[in-house]
Amino acid sequence: MSENVAIGTTTVQDSPVAPAWSPVTLSPARIRLALLALALGGFAIGSTEFVAMGLLPNLAHDLLPALYATSPHAANAQASWLVSAYALGVVVGAPTIATFAARFPRKQLLLCLAGAFTLATVASAVLPSFGLVLLARFVAGLPHGAYFGVAALVAASLMGPGKRGRGVAIVLSGLTIANIIGVPAITLLGQQTSWRVAYLVVAAIFAVSFVAIAFLVPLQPGDPGATMRRELKAFGRGQVWLALLIGSVGFGGFFAVYTFISPLVTVEAGLGASFVPIMLILVGTGMTVGNFLGGRTADHNVMGSIFVYFGAFAVSLVGLALTSHTVPGLLIFGFLLGASASALSPSIQTRLMDVAGDSQTLAAAVNHASLNIGNSMGAALGAATVAAGLGYVSPSWVGLILCVPGFALATASVLLERKRPILR
């Protein structure tokens, strides 16, 4: 899913340990190349996370042939478990790696994570059965949150004081560009050849990012002062739990719809499969615009932004449910869906940073995990309605229902803060 200024396993605070190098010792060209290498990893992650949506019918047809022959709806619903499996991998891997690997040298850790991504994606492409591919997608999700967190720290150090946010934005640009270029292009390739070829291409991108990190990213130590006890203090704060629940419940609605974007285009709107990549580009563009807008408004009013974007998100879901059978409705509300959902993410992350106290590293990681719980939950609930024969519009109504507790939790957080002001 889309990520923001503070994401993955850590926020972009100065490292407590000085790097073995200084930004002033590196040429501007070397810094740009190192940031590009980190962004390439984000591009590959965005591709591997989202390409299953565009190729969902292809996955269902190939991995579940008997079920697909009798009920394409049921087969597509079951194939969406591949989306949920990846998200659950992120949920497990983000806090675990954040806790146990914070002391490791960061470049070596990034290489290990990129290598793990490469192997797991190759396994996803070549394993013969649905169950084995499902397991491979879970394993592929494990390094997701840790990569973005460590890459954020390295990028912040590369840019130097006062420019950390720009460095992190460059890393995250890989993920947003993947939704505009990578996912649609790889989806089209998969439609023309095979979904297995598509995943092999993604694995190749991970392999290239591994080489780029090895040659272009300078060495940097980990955090020897990091302890599990220090980070676990975050879970003693009620506002932390509210922020995490807002993300996991509220954001689940996006994946309920996005998981079934391909059949929504081809079945409900009656368009050809060649229109799916165009729709993915449109939603990806919305996500990029929303991520930028959400980051800007969160700096001015975090909770106000959350309420506004929940409202816009609800409007997009209703509009998509009512008009997705038309091309204008599909395009307009598909763009708004990506923009409003992505705009929520920086506001929720910023809120979590405000309430987490000193436990910033684990808080950022668990935030990433909570969003992927929402991803998994949304995909599963959307699959349940599709499998029940309610059609591919039904996940939009699932998303709208999930907006209600998300909005209620945000309201509860504001009311609680009025009674017990947050100490920052």
* Full 3-state SS string of the chain: CCCCCCECCECCCCCCCCCCCCHHHCCHHHHHHHHHHHHHHHHHHHHHHHHHHHCHHHHHHHHCHHHHHHCHHHHHHHHCHHHHHHHHHHHHHHHHHHHHCCCCCHHHHHHHHHHHHHHHHHHHHHCCCHHHHHHHHHHHHCCHHHHHHHHHHHHHHHHCCCCHHHHHHHHHHHHHHHHHHHHHHHHHHHHHCCHHHHHHHHHHHHHHHHHHHHHHCCCCCCCCCCCHHHHHHHHHCHHHHHHHHHHHHHCHHHHHHHCCHHHHHHHHCCCCHHHHHHHHHHHHHHHHHHHHHHHHHHCCCHHHHHHHHHHHHHHHHHHHHHHCCCHHHHHHHHHHHHHHHHHHHHHHHHHHHHHCCCCHHHHHHHHHHHHHHHHHHHHHHHHHHHHCCCCCCHHHHHHHHHHHHHHHHHHHHHHHHHHCCCCC
How far does CA 195 lie from the centroid of its chain?
21
pLDDT at residue 364, as a whole number: 60
Residue 25's alpha-carbon distances to 22, 254, 267, in angstroms, are: 5, 44, 57
Residue 250's alpha-carbon distances to 71, 148, 260, 303, in angstroms, are: 31, 22, 18, 14
Kindly report which listed range (45-49, 78-82, 312-316, 420-424) carries the lowest average pLDDT score: 420-424
Distance, first Cα to last Cα, the chain: 29
Radius of gyration of the chain (CA): 20
Distance from C-alpha of 313 to C-alpha of 254, rounded to nearest angstrom: 9
Listed residue (224, 231, 229, 220) closest to 109, CA to CA: 220
Residue 212 has pLDDT above 80, yes or no: yes
Decide which of 3.50.50.60, 3.20.20.70, 1.20.1250.20, 3.20.20.10 is the CATH code for 23-419.
1.20.1250.20
Residue 245 has pLDDT above 50, yes or no: yes
Residue 96 has pLDDT above 80, yes or no: yes
Distance from C-alpha of 343 to C-alpha of 315, rounded to nearest angstrom: 14
Residue 4 has pLDDT above 70, yes or no: no
Distance from C-alpha of 337 to C-alpha of 280, rounded to nearest angstrom: 12
Amino acid at 310: F
Distance from C-alpha of 20 to C-alpha of 358, rounded to nearest angstrom: 25
pTM, whole model, 2 decimals? 0.72
Domain layout of the chain by residue ranges: 23-419
Q: Tell me the sheet residues that pair with 404.
A: none
Region 42-69: mean pLDDT is: 89
Residue 424 has pLDDT above 60, yes or no: no
pLDDT at residue 198, as a whole number: 94
Region 105-126: mean pLDDT is: 93
pLDDT at residue 18, as a whole number: 41
Q: Which residue has the higher pLDDT, 295 or 312?
A: 312
Distance from C-alpha of 361 to C-alpha of 229, rounded to nearest angstrom: 12
Count the neighbouring beta carbons within 10 Å of the beta carbon of residue 20. Answer: 11
Residue 301 has pLDDT above 90, yes or no: no
CA angle 320, 322, 325 (to 5 degrees): 80
CB-based contact 272:266 (threshold 8 Å): yes
Residue 247 has pLDDT above 90, yes or no: no
Confidence label for 163 from pLDDT (cuts 50, 70 and 90) = low
Region 362-389: mean pLDDT is: 78
Confidence label for 167 from pLDDT (cuts 50, 70 and 90) = low
Q: Which residue has the higher pLDDT, 87 or 200?
A: 200
What are 418's two structure tokens?
């009025």
pLDDT at residue 101, as a whole number: 74
Residue 322 has pLDDT above 60, yes or no: yes
pLDDT at residue 222, as a whole number: 66
Confidence label for 120 from pLDDT (cuts 50, 70 and 90) = very high
Region 118-147: mean pLDDT is: 93
pLDDT at residue 136, as a whole number: 95
| 254-265 tens-digit pLDDT | 888 888 888 888
Confidence label for 112 from pLDDT (cuts 50, 70 and 90) = very high
What are 386's two structure tokens?
């599709």
pLDDT at residue 228, as a whole number: 67
Residues listed for the chain? 424
Amino acid at 21: W
pLDDT at residue 2, as a whole number: 39
Region 107-115: mean pLDDT is: 93
pLDDT at residue 259, as a whole number: 81
